[in-house]
Structure 1
Amino acid sequence: MTIVEAVIIAIVEGLTEFLPVSSTGHMIIASSLMGIEKDAFTKLFEVAIQLGAIMAVVVLYWKKFFDFKRPLFYVKLAVAVIPALVLGYLFSDKIDAMLESPLTVALSLLLGGLVLVWIDRAFQRPGIHEEENISFGKAFIIGCWQCLAMIPGVSRSASSIIGGMQQKLDRNLAAEFSFFLAVPTMAAATAHSLILKDWELAPGVKSKGYEMLLGSTDKLVLFIVGNVVAFAVAWLAIRFFIGFLQRHGFRWFGYYRIAAGVILLILLGLKVIQ
Protein backbone atom coordinates (compact mmCIF):
# COMPACT_ATOMS: atom_id res chain seq x y z
CA MET A 1 0.00 0.00 0.00
CA THR A 2 1.38 3.40 -0.98
CA ILE A 3 0.87 6.65 0.91
CA VAL A 4 -1.55 7.86 -1.79
CA GLU A 5 -3.61 4.67 -1.52
CA ALA A 6 -3.65 4.99 2.28
CA VAL A 7 -4.90 8.59 2.05
CA ILE A 8 -7.65 7.59 -0.41
CA ILE A 9 -8.85 4.76 1.83
CA ALA A 10 -8.75 7.10 4.85
CA ILE A 11 -10.84 9.68 2.97
CA VAL A 12 -13.36 6.96 2.12
CA GLU A 13 -13.44 5.88 5.79
CA GLY A 14 -13.93 9.42 7.07
CA LEU A 15 -16.66 10.20 4.54
CA THR A 16 -18.65 7.04 5.04
CA GLU A 17 -18.16 5.88 8.66
CA PHE A 18 -21.03 7.92 10.08
CA LEU A 19 -23.22 8.05 6.98
CA PRO A 20 -25.64 5.13 6.48
CA VAL A 21 -23.78 3.85 3.40
CA SER A 22 -21.19 1.40 4.88
CA SER A 23 -17.60 2.50 5.37
CA THR A 24 -16.31 -1.09 5.29
CA GLY A 25 -18.09 -1.75 2.02
CA HIS A 26 -16.69 1.38 0.42
CA MET A 27 -13.16 0.63 1.64
CA ILE A 28 -13.40 -2.87 0.15
CA ILE A 29 -14.55 -1.38 -3.15
CA ALA A 30 -11.82 1.29 -3.10
CA SER A 31 -9.03 -1.17 -2.31
CA SER A 32 -10.33 -3.58 -4.97
CA LEU A 33 -10.45 -0.86 -7.63
CA MET A 34 -6.89 0.22 -6.76
CA GLY A 35 -5.70 -3.38 -6.82
CA ILE A 36 -4.40 -3.30 -3.25
CA GLU A 37 -3.44 -6.75 -2.04
CA LYS A 38 -5.66 -8.01 0.79
CA ASP A 39 -2.78 -8.86 3.07
CA ALA A 40 -2.73 -8.69 6.87
CA PHE A 41 -1.65 -5.06 6.98
CA THR A 42 -4.41 -3.91 4.61
CA LYS A 43 -7.04 -5.61 6.77
CA LEU A 44 -5.50 -4.13 9.92
CA PHE A 45 -5.36 -0.67 8.36
CA GLU A 46 -9.02 -0.73 7.30
CA VAL A 47 -10.04 -1.47 10.90
CA ALA A 48 -7.50 0.63 12.78
CA ILE A 49 -8.10 3.92 10.93
CA GLN A 50 -11.51 3.94 12.57
CA LEU A 51 -9.59 5.38 15.52
CA GLY A 52 -9.35 8.73 13.72
CA ALA A 53 -13.07 8.71 12.96
CA ILE A 54 -13.85 7.92 16.62
CA MET A 55 -11.90 10.96 17.75
CA ALA A 56 -13.95 13.17 15.42
CA VAL A 57 -17.11 12.20 17.36
CA VAL A 58 -15.42 12.77 20.72
CA VAL A 59 -14.21 16.23 19.65
CA LEU A 60 -17.55 17.31 18.18
CA TYR A 61 -19.52 16.07 21.20
CA TRP A 62 -16.87 16.60 23.86
CA LYS A 63 -19.28 18.31 26.27
CA LYS A 64 -21.49 15.22 26.16
CA PHE A 65 -18.67 12.72 26.48
CA PHE A 66 -17.03 14.48 29.40
CA ASP A 67 -20.13 15.41 31.37
CA PHE A 68 -19.39 13.18 34.34
CA LYS A 69 -22.43 14.49 36.20
CA ARG A 70 -24.57 12.21 34.00
CA PRO A 71 -23.16 8.71 34.61
CA LEU A 72 -26.22 6.99 33.12
CA PHE A 73 -25.10 8.16 29.67
CA TYR A 74 -21.98 5.98 29.97
CA VAL A 75 -23.96 3.06 31.36
CA LYS A 76 -26.35 3.17 28.38
CA LEU A 77 -23.41 3.07 25.97
CA ALA A 78 -21.91 0.15 27.89
CA VAL A 79 -25.21 -1.76 27.73
CA ALA A 80 -25.64 -1.00 24.02
CA VAL A 81 -22.15 -2.18 23.07
CA ILE A 82 -22.45 -5.59 24.78
CA PRO A 83 -24.04 -7.42 21.78
CA ALA A 84 -21.29 -6.24 19.41
CA LEU A 85 -18.55 -7.23 21.84
CA VAL A 86 -19.96 -10.73 22.32
CA LEU A 87 -20.70 -11.47 18.65
CA GLY A 88 -17.49 -9.81 17.47
CA TYR A 89 -15.48 -12.05 19.81
CA LEU A 90 -17.34 -15.22 18.80
CA PHE A 91 -17.32 -14.65 15.05
CA SER A 92 -14.13 -12.65 14.47
CA ASP A 93 -12.67 -15.06 11.89
CA LYS A 94 -15.92 -15.35 9.92
CA ILE A 95 -16.22 -11.55 9.84
CA ASP A 96 -12.65 -11.26 8.53
CA ALA A 97 -13.47 -13.76 5.78
CA MET A 98 -16.49 -11.72 4.67
CA LEU A 99 -14.30 -8.61 4.42
CA GLU A 100 -12.80 -10.14 1.27
CA SER A 101 -16.14 -10.40 -0.56
CA PRO A 102 -17.22 -7.52 -2.85
CA LEU A 103 -20.31 -9.57 -3.78
CA THR A 104 -21.48 -9.51 -0.16
CA VAL A 105 -20.94 -5.73 -0.15
CA ALA A 106 -22.92 -5.26 -3.38
CA LEU A 107 -25.94 -7.21 -2.15
CA SER A 108 -25.86 -5.53 1.26
CA LEU A 109 -25.69 -2.06 -0.31
CA LEU A 110 -28.65 -2.85 -2.56
CA LEU A 111 -30.90 -4.35 0.11
CA GLY A 112 -29.92 -1.73 2.70
CA GLY A 113 -30.75 1.00 0.20
CA LEU A 114 -34.27 -0.34 -0.24
CA VAL A 115 -34.72 -0.30 3.55
CA LEU A 116 -33.50 3.33 3.84
CA VAL A 117 -35.90 4.50 1.13
CA TRP A 118 -38.70 2.99 3.20
CA ILE A 119 -37.48 3.95 6.66
CA ASP A 120 -38.71 7.57 6.82
CA ARG A 121 -42.25 6.45 6.07
CA ALA A 122 -42.10 3.47 8.44
CA PHE A 123 -41.41 5.40 11.64
CA GLN A 124 -43.33 8.68 11.45
CA ARG A 125 -44.38 8.99 15.09
CA PRO A 126 -41.29 9.08 17.30
CA GLY A 127 -41.86 9.43 21.02
CA ILE A 128 -38.31 9.97 22.30
CA HIS A 129 -36.53 13.23 21.57
CA GLU A 130 -33.90 13.40 24.36
CA GLU A 131 -31.10 10.99 25.25
CA GLU A 132 -32.18 11.05 28.90
CA ASN A 133 -35.39 9.21 27.91
CA ILE A 134 -33.62 6.25 26.27
CA SER A 135 -34.05 3.29 28.63
CA PHE A 136 -31.42 0.59 29.19
CA GLY A 137 -33.65 -1.89 27.38
CA LYS A 138 -33.93 0.34 24.33
CA ALA A 139 -30.16 0.93 24.37
CA PHE A 140 -29.56 -2.83 24.39
CA ILE A 141 -31.96 -3.41 21.49
CA ILE A 142 -30.28 -0.67 19.45
CA GLY A 143 -26.98 -2.43 20.18
CA CYS A 144 -28.46 -5.67 18.83
CA TRP A 145 -29.46 -3.89 15.62
CA GLN A 146 -25.92 -2.57 15.31
CA CYS A 147 -24.64 -6.15 15.06
CA LEU A 148 -26.13 -6.43 11.57
CA ALA A 149 -23.21 -4.23 10.47
CA MET A 150 -20.85 -7.17 10.96
CA ILE A 151 -21.97 -8.11 7.46
CA PRO A 152 -19.85 -5.94 5.12
CA GLY A 153 -21.97 -3.39 3.27
CA VAL A 154 -24.79 -3.24 5.83
CA SER A 155 -23.42 -0.09 7.59
CA ARG A 156 -23.01 0.25 11.35
CA SER A 157 -24.51 3.72 11.19
CA ALA A 158 -27.57 2.61 9.18
CA SER A 159 -28.31 -0.43 11.33
CA SER A 160 -28.03 1.43 14.65
CA ILE A 161 -30.06 4.41 13.35
CA ILE A 162 -32.80 2.08 12.10
CA GLY A 163 -32.71 0.34 15.48
CA GLY A 164 -33.08 3.69 17.21
CA MET A 165 -36.03 4.72 15.08
CA GLN A 166 -37.63 1.30 15.61
CA GLN A 167 -37.34 2.06 19.34
CA LYS A 168 -39.23 5.36 18.82
CA LEU A 169 -36.25 7.74 18.80
CA ASP A 170 -36.65 10.66 16.40
CA ARG A 171 -34.23 10.48 13.49
CA ASN A 172 -31.85 13.17 14.75
CA LEU A 173 -31.57 11.53 18.18
CA ALA A 174 -31.20 8.11 16.54
CA ALA A 175 -28.33 9.47 14.45
CA GLU A 176 -26.62 11.10 17.45
CA PHE A 177 -26.96 7.97 19.60
CA SER A 178 -25.47 6.02 16.69
CA PHE A 179 -22.47 8.39 16.78
CA PHE A 180 -22.10 7.95 20.55
CA LEU A 181 -22.39 4.16 20.28
CA ALA A 182 -19.71 4.15 17.58
CA VAL A 183 -17.08 5.27 20.09
CA PRO A 184 -16.97 2.21 22.40
CA THR A 185 -17.82 -0.16 19.53
CA MET A 186 -15.08 1.04 17.21
CA ALA A 187 -12.61 1.55 20.05
CA ALA A 188 -13.08 -2.10 21.01
CA ALA A 189 -12.67 -3.25 17.40
CA THR A 190 -9.53 -1.15 17.00
CA ALA A 191 -8.04 -2.38 20.29
CA HIS A 192 -8.77 -5.97 19.32
CA SER A 193 -7.10 -5.56 15.92
CA LEU A 194 -4.03 -3.83 17.37
CA ILE A 195 -3.48 -5.68 20.65
CA LEU A 196 -5.31 -9.01 20.82
CA LYS A 197 -5.68 -10.41 17.31
CA ASP A 198 -3.00 -12.61 15.75
CA TRP A 199 -2.59 -11.59 12.11
CA GLU A 200 -1.24 -14.20 9.69
CA LEU A 201 1.65 -12.66 7.76
CA ALA A 202 2.55 -15.94 6.05
CA PRO A 203 1.74 -19.62 6.59
CA GLY A 204 2.75 -20.32 10.17
CA VAL A 205 3.91 -16.75 10.80
CA LYS A 206 1.66 -14.58 12.98
CA SER A 207 1.97 -11.13 14.51
CA LYS A 208 0.00 -8.78 16.73
CA GLY A 209 -1.19 -5.59 15.08
CA TYR A 210 1.01 -3.29 17.14
CA GLU A 211 4.04 -5.50 16.38
CA MET A 212 3.29 -5.18 12.68
CA LEU A 213 3.24 -1.38 12.97
CA LEU A 214 6.24 -0.99 15.25
CA GLY A 215 8.28 -3.39 13.15
CA SER A 216 8.01 -1.22 10.03
CA THR A 217 8.45 2.55 9.81
CA ASP A 218 6.55 2.62 6.50
CA LYS A 219 3.52 0.85 7.98
CA LEU A 220 3.57 3.08 11.07
CA VAL A 221 3.61 6.22 8.88
CA LEU A 222 0.67 4.89 6.82
CA PHE A 223 -1.25 4.19 10.05
CA ILE A 224 -0.65 7.68 11.47
CA VAL A 225 -1.42 9.50 8.21
CA GLY A 226 -4.54 7.40 7.69
CA ASN A 227 -5.91 8.24 11.13
CA VAL A 228 -5.22 11.97 10.78
CA VAL A 229 -6.98 12.09 7.40
CA ALA A 230 -9.90 9.96 8.67
CA PHE A 231 -10.34 12.30 11.65
CA ALA A 232 -10.49 15.48 9.52
CA VAL A 233 -12.85 14.03 6.93
CA ALA A 234 -15.13 12.37 9.50
CA TRP A 235 -15.41 15.67 11.40
CA LEU A 236 -16.75 17.36 8.26
CA ALA A 237 -18.98 14.42 7.33
CA ILE A 238 -20.73 14.36 10.72
CA ARG A 239 -21.51 18.07 10.55
CA PHE A 240 -22.91 17.62 7.04
CA PHE A 241 -24.96 14.55 7.94
CA ILE A 242 -26.99 16.09 10.76
CA GLY A 243 -27.96 19.11 8.66
CA PHE A 244 -28.81 16.96 5.63
CA LEU A 245 -30.85 14.57 7.76
CA GLN A 246 -32.97 17.39 9.17
CA ARG A 247 -33.82 18.60 5.67
CA HIS A 248 -34.09 15.44 3.60
CA GLY A 249 -34.28 12.32 5.78
CA PHE A 250 -32.76 9.02 4.66
CA ARG A 251 -34.19 8.44 1.20
CA TRP A 252 -31.29 9.99 -0.75
CA PHE A 253 -28.84 7.74 1.07
CA GLY A 254 -31.10 4.85 0.10
CA TYR A 255 -31.06 5.87 -3.57
CA TYR A 256 -27.27 6.17 -3.43
CA ARG A 257 -26.89 2.69 -1.91
CA ILE A 258 -29.17 1.15 -4.53
CA ALA A 259 -27.20 2.79 -7.36
CA ALA A 260 -23.85 1.81 -5.79
CA GLY A 261 -24.99 -1.79 -5.31
CA VAL A 262 -26.18 -2.11 -8.91
CA ILE A 263 -22.97 -0.57 -10.28
CA LEU A 264 -20.85 -2.87 -8.14
CA LEU A 265 -22.78 -5.93 -9.34
CA ILE A 266 -22.18 -4.83 -12.93
CA LEU A 267 -18.45 -4.33 -12.27
CA LEU A 268 -18.29 -7.79 -10.70
CA GLY A 269 -20.16 -9.26 -13.66
CA LEU A 270 -17.70 -7.62 -16.08
CA LYS A 271 -14.80 -8.84 -13.87
CA VAL A 272 -13.52 -5.27 -13.42
CA ILE A 273 -13.51 -6.13 -9.71
CA GLN A 274 -12.56 -9.65 -8.70
Structure 2
Amino acid sequence: MDLSLLLVALVLGIVEGLTEFLPVSSTGHLIILGDLLGYNDDTSKVFKIVIQLAAILAVCWDYRERLIKVASGITTEPSAQRFVGLLFIGFLPAAVLGLMFHSTIKGLLFNPITVATALVVGGLIILYVEKRAYHPRLNSVDELRWTDALKVGFAQALAMIPGTSRSGATIMGGVIFGLSRKTAAEFSFFLAIPTMFAATAYDLYKNWALLRVEDLPVFAVGFIASFVAAMWAVKSFIKFISNHTFVAFAWYRIVFGIFVLATWYFGWVEWSEP
Protein backbone atom coordinates (compact mmCIF):
# COMPACT_ATOMS: atom_id res chain seq x y z
CA MET A 1 0.00 0.00 0.00
CA ASP A 2 1.28 3.44 -0.96
CA LEU A 3 2.19 5.26 2.28
CA SER A 4 1.63 8.64 0.65
CA LEU A 5 -1.95 7.62 -0.13
CA LEU A 6 -2.47 6.61 3.50
CA LEU A 7 -1.18 10.03 4.56
CA VAL A 8 -3.64 11.70 2.19
CA ALA A 9 -6.42 9.58 3.69
CA LEU A 10 -5.37 10.62 7.19
CA VAL A 11 -5.33 14.32 6.31
CA LEU A 12 -8.68 14.23 4.50
CA GLY A 13 -10.24 12.18 7.29
CA ILE A 14 -9.15 14.70 9.92
CA VAL A 15 -10.36 17.61 7.79
CA GLU A 16 -13.76 15.95 7.26
CA GLY A 17 -14.18 15.27 10.96
CA LEU A 18 -13.15 18.77 12.02
CA THR A 19 -15.25 20.63 9.47
CA GLU A 20 -18.42 18.54 9.00
CA PHE A 21 -20.29 20.17 11.88
CA LEU A 22 -18.67 23.60 11.78
CA PRO A 23 -20.10 26.38 9.55
CA VAL A 24 -17.16 26.21 7.14
CA SER A 25 -18.23 23.49 4.64
CA SER A 26 -16.61 20.07 4.92
CA THR A 27 -17.52 19.24 1.31
CA GLY A 28 -15.86 22.44 0.16
CA HIS A 29 -12.67 21.65 2.06
CA LEU A 30 -12.58 18.10 0.70
CA ILE A 31 -13.06 19.33 -2.88
CA ILE A 32 -10.27 21.90 -2.55
CA LEU A 33 -7.84 19.60 -0.72
CA GLY A 34 -8.66 16.62 -2.94
CA ASP A 35 -7.94 18.73 -6.01
CA LEU A 36 -4.73 20.12 -4.48
CA LEU A 37 -3.49 16.67 -3.42
CA GLY A 38 -4.50 15.05 -6.69
CA TYR A 39 -6.99 12.74 -5.00
CA ASN A 40 -10.07 13.38 -7.07
CA ASP A 41 -10.50 10.18 -9.07
CA ASP A 42 -13.38 7.70 -8.90
CA THR A 43 -11.99 6.02 -5.76
CA SER A 44 -12.00 9.36 -3.97
CA LYS A 45 -15.76 9.57 -4.44
CA VAL A 46 -16.31 6.46 -2.35
CA PHE A 47 -13.63 7.51 0.13
CA LYS A 48 -15.44 10.80 0.82
CA ILE A 49 -18.67 8.88 1.40
CA VAL A 50 -16.91 6.65 3.93
CA ILE A 51 -15.36 9.48 5.95
CA GLN A 52 -18.65 11.39 5.91
CA LEU A 53 -20.33 8.30 7.36
CA ALA A 54 -17.68 8.22 10.10
CA ALA A 55 -18.41 11.82 11.02
CA ILE A 56 -22.14 11.27 11.38
CA LEU A 57 -21.54 8.11 13.44
CA ALA A 58 -19.41 10.23 15.77
CA VAL A 59 -22.39 12.53 16.36
CA CYS A 60 -24.61 9.53 16.98
CA TRP A 61 -22.12 8.37 19.61
CA ASP A 62 -21.89 11.81 21.24
CA TYR A 63 -25.67 12.05 21.50
CA ARG A 64 -26.27 8.34 22.07
CA GLU A 65 -28.20 8.85 25.33
CA ARG A 66 -30.74 11.16 23.68
CA LEU A 67 -31.01 8.94 20.61
CA ILE A 68 -31.47 5.76 22.67
CA LYS A 69 -34.15 7.50 24.74
CA VAL A 70 -35.97 8.59 21.58
CA ALA A 71 -35.69 5.16 19.98
CA SER A 72 -36.98 3.36 23.08
CA GLY A 73 -39.94 5.70 23.43
CA ILE A 74 -40.90 6.11 19.78
CA THR A 75 -44.05 4.00 20.15
CA THR A 76 -45.16 5.25 23.56
CA GLU A 77 -43.65 8.65 24.39
CA PRO A 78 -45.26 11.75 22.79
CA SER A 79 -42.04 13.72 23.30
CA ALA A 80 -40.02 11.13 21.36
CA GLN A 81 -42.63 11.03 18.59
CA ARG A 82 -42.63 14.82 18.41
CA PHE A 83 -38.82 14.91 18.19
CA VAL A 84 -38.76 12.37 15.34
CA GLY A 85 -41.52 14.32 13.60
CA LEU A 86 -39.46 17.53 13.77
CA LEU A 87 -36.46 15.78 12.25
CA PHE A 88 -38.60 14.31 9.48
CA ILE A 89 -40.09 17.71 8.63
CA GLY A 90 -36.66 19.34 8.68
CA PHE A 91 -35.25 16.56 6.51
CA LEU A 92 -37.90 16.76 3.76
CA PRO A 93 -36.79 19.90 1.83
CA ALA A 94 -33.22 18.67 1.33
CA ALA A 95 -34.45 15.15 0.50
CA VAL A 96 -36.89 16.28 -2.18
CA LEU A 97 -34.65 18.95 -3.73
CA GLY A 98 -31.62 16.66 -3.46
CA LEU A 99 -33.31 13.92 -5.49
CA MET A 100 -34.33 16.49 -8.08
CA PHE A 101 -31.02 18.32 -8.52
CA HIS A 102 -28.31 16.05 -7.05
CA SER A 103 -26.71 14.99 -10.34
CA THR A 104 -26.92 18.45 -11.91
CA ILE A 105 -25.31 20.16 -8.93
CA LYS A 106 -22.52 17.58 -8.68
CA GLY A 107 -21.79 17.88 -12.38
CA LEU A 108 -21.72 21.68 -12.52
CA LEU A 109 -20.74 23.02 -9.10
CA PHE A 110 -18.37 20.54 -7.48
CA ASN A 111 -15.12 22.40 -8.21
CA PRO A 112 -12.76 24.58 -6.13
CA ILE A 113 -13.77 27.88 -7.76
CA THR A 114 -17.45 27.45 -6.97
CA VAL A 115 -16.53 26.34 -3.45
CA ALA A 116 -14.28 29.34 -2.84
CA THR A 117 -16.98 31.73 -4.05
CA ALA A 118 -19.58 30.09 -1.81
CA LEU A 119 -17.20 30.27 1.16
CA VAL A 120 -16.83 34.03 0.73
CA VAL A 121 -20.55 34.65 0.20
CA GLY A 122 -21.44 32.44 3.17
CA GLY A 123 -18.95 34.25 5.36
CA LEU A 124 -20.48 37.61 4.47
CA ILE A 125 -23.94 36.25 5.29
CA ILE A 126 -22.74 35.06 8.70
CA LEU A 127 -21.31 38.54 9.42
CA TYR A 128 -24.63 40.09 8.43
CA VAL A 129 -26.61 37.71 10.65
CA GLU A 130 -24.33 38.35 13.62
CA LYS A 131 -24.73 42.12 13.29
CA ARG A 132 -28.50 41.87 13.66
CA ALA A 133 -30.19 42.23 17.01
CA TYR A 134 -30.00 38.85 18.72
CA HIS A 135 -33.18 38.00 20.64
CA PRO A 136 -33.67 34.20 20.63
CA ARG A 137 -37.15 32.95 21.49
CA LEU A 138 -36.26 29.24 21.53
CA ASN A 139 -33.61 27.99 23.94
CA SER A 140 -34.11 24.25 23.59
CA VAL A 141 -34.64 21.81 20.76
CA ASP A 142 -37.76 20.61 22.58
CA GLU A 143 -39.33 24.07 22.15
CA LEU A 144 -39.28 23.93 18.33
CA ARG A 145 -42.53 23.85 16.41
CA TRP A 146 -43.02 22.07 13.10
CA THR A 147 -42.86 25.43 11.29
CA ASP A 148 -39.45 26.13 12.84
CA ALA A 149 -38.18 22.72 11.73
CA LEU A 150 -39.47 23.28 8.20
CA LYS A 151 -37.78 26.69 7.94
CA VAL A 152 -34.46 25.24 9.09
CA GLY A 153 -34.98 22.38 6.64
CA PHE A 154 -35.26 24.79 3.72
CA ALA A 155 -32.13 26.57 4.96
CA GLN A 156 -30.35 23.20 4.99
CA ALA A 157 -31.33 22.63 1.34
CA LEU A 158 -29.14 25.61 0.38
CA ALA A 159 -26.14 23.51 1.39
CA MET A 160 -26.50 21.45 -1.79
CA ILE A 161 -24.29 24.19 -3.25
CA PRO A 162 -20.77 23.05 -2.27
CA GLY A 163 -18.99 25.53 -0.06
CA THR A 164 -22.21 26.73 1.55
CA SER A 165 -21.94 24.36 4.53
CA ARG A 166 -24.84 22.24 5.72
CA SER A 167 -24.21 23.09 9.35
CA GLY A 168 -23.63 26.74 8.50
CA ALA A 169 -26.91 27.00 6.59
CA THR A 170 -28.95 25.25 9.29
CA ILE A 171 -27.34 27.08 12.20
CA MET A 172 -27.56 30.53 10.63
CA GLY A 173 -31.06 29.76 9.42
CA GLY A 174 -31.98 28.69 12.94
CA VAL A 175 -30.55 31.89 14.44
CA ILE A 176 -32.47 34.02 11.92
CA PHE A 177 -35.68 32.14 12.77
CA GLY A 178 -35.28 32.71 16.51
CA LEU A 179 -33.25 29.79 17.86
CA SER A 180 -30.44 30.41 20.31
CA ARG A 181 -26.97 29.64 18.96
CA LYS A 182 -26.64 26.48 21.04
CA THR A 183 -30.16 25.29 20.14
CA ALA A 184 -29.54 25.96 16.44
CA ALA A 185 -26.26 24.02 16.60
CA GLU A 186 -27.79 21.05 18.41
CA PHE A 187 -30.76 20.86 16.04
CA SER A 188 -28.29 21.06 13.16
CA PHE A 189 -26.44 18.06 14.59
CA PHE A 190 -29.63 16.04 15.04
CA LEU A 191 -30.92 17.01 11.59
CA ALA A 192 -27.61 15.88 10.12
CA ILE A 193 -28.32 12.29 11.17
CA PRO A 194 -31.18 11.46 8.76
CA THR A 195 -29.87 13.87 6.12
CA MET A 196 -26.35 12.48 5.99
CA PHE A 197 -27.39 8.86 6.35
CA ALA A 198 -29.75 9.31 3.40
CA ALA A 199 -27.11 11.12 1.34
CA THR A 200 -24.51 8.47 2.18
CA ALA A 201 -26.84 5.61 1.25
CA TYR A 202 -27.76 7.32 -2.02
CA ASP A 203 -24.14 8.02 -2.94
CA LEU A 204 -23.11 4.46 -2.09
CA TYR A 205 -25.90 3.14 -4.28
CA LYS A 206 -24.76 5.35 -7.15
CA ASN A 207 -21.07 4.43 -6.75
CA TRP A 208 -21.32 0.81 -5.59
CA ALA A 209 -19.32 -0.45 -8.57
CA LEU A 210 -16.31 1.61 -7.47
CA LEU A 211 -15.80 -0.31 -4.22
CA ARG A 212 -12.62 -2.39 -4.22
CA VAL A 213 -11.10 -4.60 -1.51
CA GLU A 214 -7.62 -3.18 -2.08
CA ASP A 215 -8.85 0.27 -1.04
CA LEU A 216 -9.94 -0.91 2.44
CA PRO A 217 -6.73 0.23 4.26
CA VAL A 218 -7.12 3.75 2.86
CA PHE A 219 -10.80 3.83 3.76
CA ALA A 220 -10.06 2.50 7.27
CA VAL A 221 -7.47 5.21 7.98
CA GLY A 222 -9.81 7.94 6.75
CA PHE A 223 -12.77 6.51 8.66
CA ILE A 224 -10.97 6.37 12.00
CA ALA A 225 -9.42 9.82 11.56
CA SER A 226 -12.79 11.35 10.67
CA PHE A 227 -14.60 9.66 13.56
CA VAL A 228 -12.10 10.81 16.20
CA ALA A 229 -11.81 14.34 14.79
CA ALA A 230 -15.60 14.74 14.58
CA MET A 231 -16.10 13.65 18.19
CA TRP A 232 -13.63 16.27 19.37
CA ALA A 233 -15.01 18.97 17.06
CA VAL A 234 -18.65 18.57 18.13
CA LYS A 235 -17.87 18.81 21.85
CA SER A 236 -15.49 21.74 21.36
CA PHE A 237 -17.94 23.57 19.07
CA ILE A 238 -20.79 23.42 21.57
CA LYS A 239 -18.52 24.79 24.29
CA PHE A 240 -17.24 27.54 22.00
CA ILE A 241 -20.60 28.89 20.88
CA SER A 242 -21.88 29.01 24.45
CA ASN A 243 -19.75 32.13 24.92
CA HIS A 244 -18.84 33.27 21.39
CA THR A 245 -20.45 34.33 18.13
CA PHE A 246 -19.82 32.80 14.69
CA VAL A 247 -17.79 35.81 13.50
CA ALA A 248 -14.48 33.93 13.67
CA PHE A 249 -15.85 31.25 11.33
CA ALA A 250 -17.11 33.94 8.96
CA TRP A 251 -13.69 35.56 8.65
CA TYR A 252 -12.03 32.17 8.21
CA ARG A 253 -14.39 31.42 5.32
CA ILE A 254 -13.78 34.79 3.69
CA VAL A 255 -9.98 34.69 3.99
CA PHE A 256 -9.73 31.07 2.86
CA GLY A 257 -12.12 31.62 -0.06
CA ILE A 258 -10.33 34.75 -1.25
CA PHE A 259 -6.98 32.96 -1.01
CA VAL A 260 -8.20 30.10 -3.21
CA LEU A 261 -9.71 32.56 -5.71
CA ALA A 262 -6.44 34.51 -5.78
CA THR A 263 -4.40 31.39 -6.52
CA TRP A 264 -6.79 30.66 -9.39
CA TYR A 265 -6.88 34.22 -10.75
CA PHE A 266 -3.08 34.64 -10.75
CA GLY A 267 -2.47 31.12 -12.00
CA TRP A 268 -0.52 29.98 -8.96
CA VAL A 269 -2.50 26.72 -8.77
CA GLU A 270 -4.19 24.88 -11.61
CA TRP A 271 -7.58 24.21 -10.05
CA SER A 272 -10.28 22.19 -11.73
CA GLU A 273 -12.70 24.73 -13.17
CA PRO A 274 -16.43 24.64 -13.95
Question: Counterpart of 2:52?
Answer: 50
For 1:160, the aligned partner's letter is: T
- What CA RMSD, in Å, does the superposition of the two structures yield over aligned residues? 1.5
Distance in 1 separating the partners of 2:52 and 2:68: 21
Superposed, 1:43-82 pairs within 5 Å as 43-68=45-70, 69=73, 70-82=80-92
What CA deviation, in whole Å up to 9, does each residue of 1:204-260 have, x standing for no partner? xxxx42x432xx222233223222211100000111111111222100000111100
Question: Does the CA-based 8 Å contact 2:32-2:111 persist in structure 1?
Answer: no
**Selected match of 1:242 from 238, 247, 272:** 238
Q: Indicate the larger mover: 221-230 or 183-192.
A: 221-230
Which position in structure 2 is the counterpart of 1:105? 115
Asked if residue 173 in structure 1 is aligned to residue 183 in structure 2, the reply is: yes
Deviations 1:47-71 (A, max 9, x none): 3321111111111111111113322
Kept in 2: contact 1:28–1:99 (CA 8 A) = no
Rate the CA distance shift 1:99–1:236 in 2: closer, same or farther, 3 A. Answer: farther
Question: Are 1:224 and 2:220 matched, yes or no?
Answer: yes
AA partner of residue 125 (structure 2): V
Query: Which digits, 9 at most, give the CA deviation of each residue in 1:160-195, with x for residues without a partner?
Result: 001111221101100110011111111001101112
Question: Which residue matches 1:254?
Answer: 250
Q: 2:139 aligns with which of 129, 146, 167?
A: 129
Query: For 1:212, which of 194, 210, 224 is the aligned residue?
Result: 210
Paired residue total: 259
CA deviation map 1:10-59 (0-9, x unaligned) = 111001000000001111111121122x3222123223321111111111
Pairwise CA distance, 1:8:
1.0
1:98–1:152 CA contact under 8 A, matched in 2: no
- CA-CA distance at 1:123 after TM superposition: 4.9
Give the conservation status (yes or no) of the 8 Å contact 2:155–2:169.
Answer: yes
Q: Could you state the TM-score of these two structures normalised by the residue count of structure 2?
A: 0.90
For the pair 1:25 / 2:35, whether they are aligned, the reply is no
Query: In 2, are the aligned partners of 1:50 and 1:230 still within 8 Å (CA)?
Result: yes
Report the residue type matching 2:195 in the other structure. T
Is the 8 Å Cα contact of residues 81 and 185 (structure 1) preserved in structure 2? Answer: yes
Matching residue's letter, 1:72: R
Q: Is the 8 A contact 1:123 1:165 kept in 2?
A: no
Q: Which residue identity does 1:194 align to in structure 2?
A: L
Name whichever of 159-168 and 96-105 sits farther off. Answer: 96-105
Instruction: Give the gaps of 5 or more residues in structure 2.
Output: 74-79
The question of whether the paired residues in 1 share the 8 Å contact of 2:52 and 2:226 is answered with yes
Other-structure match for 2:263 = 267
Are residue 153 (structure 1) and residue 163 (structure 2) matched?
A: yes
Residues 130-157 of structure 1 show CA distances to partners (whole Å, capped at 9, x for unaligned) of: 1121011110110110011110100000
In 2, distance between residues paired with 1:222 and 1:99?
Answer: 26
Measured in 2, the distance between the counterparts of 1:123 and 1:105 equals 29
Structure 2 letter corresponding to 1:109: L
Structure 2 CA distance, aligned partners of 1:143 and 1:123? 23
1:122 offset after TM fit, Å?
A: 2.0
Deviation at 1:99, TM superposition (A): 5.2
C-alpha separation in 1, matches of 2:270 and 2:157: 27
1:97 partner letter: G
